[in-house]
Amino acid sequence: MRRLLARRMKFHLFGAFFVSVGCAALYKFGVAEPRKRAYAEFYKNYDPMKDFEAMRRAGVFESAPPK
């Protein structure tokens, strides 16, 4: 029973480290990278003036009345 806590803590510390690294990698490659690619694809073809004119025609802005 001597040093039982130290042995168990070492095992759990390494286990927790590897589980957390695995979760971080899954999040990065499963969520963050696809999100970055989606934003890059959206802004590659995005025309802010066209979007502004569409919102202006819809009457969204108070300071820029529709024409």
Percent of the chain with pLDDT over 90: 79
Local confidence band at 10 (pLDDT 50, 70, 90 cut-offs) = very high
- The predicted-structure confidence for 17-47, as pLDDT tens digits, reads as follows 999 999 999 999 999 999 999 999 999 999 9
Is residue 13 scored above 80 in pLDDT? Answer: yes
Dist CA 21 CA 29 (whole Å): 12
Domains of the chain, CATH where assigned: 30-66 (4.10.93.10)
pLDDT the model gives residue 31: 98
Look over the chain and give the mean of its residue pLDDT values, rounded to a whole number: 94
Q: For residue 64, what pLDDT is reported?
A: 85
